[in-house]
Amino acid sequence: MRSPRLGWALLTSPLVLFLLLFLGFPTVVDGVYSLSQVTFETLRTPRLSGFANYAAVLADPGFWSAVWFSLRFGVLTAVAECLVGLALAVFLSPLIDKRQLLMAPLMLPMMVAPAMVGLMYRLVLNEFAGPVPYYLEMWFGNSPAFLGADTAFWTLCVVEALQWTPFAFLLFYAAFRVIPEEVREAAAIDGAARWQTLMRVELPLMAPTIGVALFIRFIDGFRVFDNVYTLTGSGPGGSTTSLSIYIYEAFFNEAAIGKAIAASIVLFAASFLVLVGIGRLASPRTAA
């Protein structure tokens, strides 16, 4: 312990060892297997095959439609969650400021497992037992097929957005509250209407938080698995195959280990590039 750096290193060693074992080693395995011809029978003796797996993945239309699904899903849900969350935060702030307890029911959806929420919507949207088709039939005479090939994507977007709007709301509410009162007063003295104060003063001050919320929600939407898997599987007809589900199915259903791993690496590289890009953009303070 005489050398201080050694002392600090010792303190971080349990975490570092754990990461090397459970993430570092799998990454190496990923790298080797993605370049190999490998089946469940030849797991310990993979044969190097160059970039064949990558070529197979990049030539697979299924891969690109999964990328497209995940991108659209991530962008649409992140934007929807942030818009609604922002509106709720600004509009409900006077109500919640006085009664913090009102926050709890709004946060509740985040406490439920997304996989469980997917199962719950199977009930909610079921044509015989679900209340949504029941009331739509009663009031309008018919009810759309929520999980049909054309509609399943939008249904999933709504399911995801309803569960995670509270996250955006929470962040925006916190950011809205820390805007100093003097700033608003100054804007009012300058003759700004309430609407102008919001658009010109408050929203710009909240911009960093909005960026963070959009980013986090995009990432979570992009890698979606749980609720899609339990609500639609990947169907109908593969129309709801997200990238995570693509990898899962390639591995478990097709036993295409090399292909599944090559797709993982492509995904890893993509998220790494995005993270580095964001890191460059973010200020040094928030990057710490």
Partner 1 sequence: MMRTLRWIVYIVAVLALNFPVIVTLVTSFKSAGEISVNPGLWVAAPTLENYRGVLTVSSRLDIYGYLGNSLAVSLIGSLLAIVLTFPAAYAIARGKFGRRVLLPAVVNLRAVPLIIFAIPIYMMFQVLGLLDTRLGLGLILTIVNLPLALIILVNAIAELPMELDEAARIDGANTLQLLIRIVQPVIRPALATCAIFGFITAWNEFLFGLMLTANHAVPMTVGASFFFSASGGGVRWGPASAVMIVGALPPMVLGLAMYRQISGSLMAGAVKG
Segment 178 to 197, residues that bind partner 1, using CB under 8 A: none
CB of 162 to partner 1, least distance (A): 6
Query: Phi and psi at residue 192, in whole multiples of 5°?
Result: -75, 135
Size of the site for partner 1 (CB under 8 A): 98
Residue 199 lies near partner 1 (rule: CB under 8 A): no
State the binding string over 46-85 for partner 1 (x if CB under 8 A, else -). Answer: ----------------------------------------
The burial of 278, by beta-carbon neighbours within 10 Å (0-12 exposed, 13-18 middle, 19 or more buried), is given as middle
Residue 4 lies near partner 1 (rule: CB under 8 A): yes
Q: Which residue matches tokens 């109908």?
A: 236
CB of 4 to partner 1, least distance (A): 7
| CA–CA separation, 117 and 104 (whole Å) | 18
| CA–CA separation, 231 and 121 (whole Å) | 7
Considering only residues 257 through 276, tell me which ones interact with partner 1, judged by CB under 8 A.
Answer: 257, 260-261, 264-265, 267-268, 271, 274-275
The sign of the dihedral angle between the CA atoms of 219, 174, 105, 87 is negative
The span of 48-56, 141-149, 166-174, 182-190 binding partner 1 (CB under 8 A) equals 166-174
Residue 105 lies near partner 1 (rule: CB under 8 A): yes
Instruction: Return the closest-CA partner of residue 75 out of 272, 245, 249, 222.
Output: 222
Which listed residue (20, 27, 48, 255) binds partner 1 by CB under 8 A? 27
Cβ proximity to partner 1: between 59 and 288 the closer is: 288
Residue 37's beta-bridge partner residues? 47
Considering only residues 117 through 136, tell me which ones interact with partner 1, judged by CB under 8 A.
Answer: 117, 119-124, 126, 128-131, 133-135
Cβ proximity to partner 1: between 112 and 186 the closer is: 112
CB of 107 to partner 1, least distance (A): 5
The span of 48-56, 61-69, 145-153, 248-256 binding partner 1 (CB under 8 A) equals 248-256
Helices (H), 125-252: 131-140, 152-177, 181-189, 194-196, 203-222, 226-232, 243-252
Residue 228 lies near partner 1 (rule: CB under 8 A): no
CB of 288 to partner 1, least distance (A): 7
Q: What is the DSSP string of 89-112?
A: HHHHHHHHHH-GGGHHHHHGGGGS
